[in-house]
C-alpha cells in the first residue's frame, strides 16, 4: 500500500519541480567564480578573466552551446555532467539569460 501511495505521489509531482531552483543552484555552484550578479567580479573570476554573463558575447551564445559549456566544462570551468541534473542545467541556461542587459 505504501508503495502505491509513493508511486502515485511521484507521478503526480511534476518532474520539473525536482529540478530545483536555478537561483539557488547558481549561488551554490557558479557564484564563487561568476559572482552573484554574473559579472565575474570575484577574486577567482578576476584571476581567470571570466566574462560577464550579461555581455553580448555570452548572451549571443546559443542555448545548446551554453548547455555544452555547463555540461562539459571549458578551460578552467569544471564539467557538471553527473553532478547536476540535465533539467537543472537547462534551468541554469535560462537563469543566465536573465543577466542580459535590458
Please report whether residue 9 resides in a domain: no
pLDDT-derived band at 20, boundaries 50, 70, 90 = low
Q: Return the higher-pLDDT residue of 64 and 16.
A: 64
Please report whether residue 26 resides in a domain: yes
Please report whether residue 68 resides in a domain: yes
Check residue 61 and report its DSSP letter. Answer: S
Please report whether residue 7 resides in a domain: no
Closest CA to 47 of 75, 25, 6: 75
For residue 49, the model assigns a pLDDT of 94
Residue 81 DSSP SS3: strand
Please report whether residue 52 resides in a domain: yes
Model confidence over 23-37: pLDDT tens digits? 999 999 999 999 999
Model confidence over 73-99: pLDDT tens digits? 999 999 999 999 999 999 999 999 999
Q: What is the CATH number of the domain that holds 42?
A: 1.10.760.10
Please report whether residue 56 resides in a domain: yes
pLDDT-derived band at 17, boundaries 50, 70, 90 = very low
**Bridge partners for 37 per DSSP:** none
CA distances from 62 to 45, 48, 90 (A): 22, 22, 12
Number of structural domains (the chain) is 1
Grid cell in block for residue 83: 553532478
Residue ranges making up the domain that contains 74? 19-97
> How much is the pTM?
0.77
Amino acid at each position: 500500500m505504501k508503495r502505491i501511495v509513493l508511486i502515485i505521489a511521484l507521478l503526480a509531482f511534476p518532474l520539473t519541480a525536482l529540478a530545483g531552483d536555478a537561483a539557488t543552484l547558481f549561488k551554490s555552484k557558479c557564484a564563487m567564480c561568476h559572482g552573484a550578479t554574473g559579472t565575474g567580479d570575484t577574486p577567482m573570476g578576476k584571476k581567470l578573466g571570466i566574462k560577464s554573463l550579461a555581455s553580448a558575447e555570452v548572451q549571443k551564445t546559443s542555448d545548446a552551446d551554453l548547455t555544452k559549456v555547463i555540461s562539459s566544462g571549458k578551460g578552467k570551468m569544471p564539467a557538471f555532467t553527473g553532478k547536476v541534473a540535465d533539467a537543472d542545467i537547462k534551468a541554469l541556461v535560462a537563469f543566465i539569460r536573465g543577466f542580459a542587459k535590458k
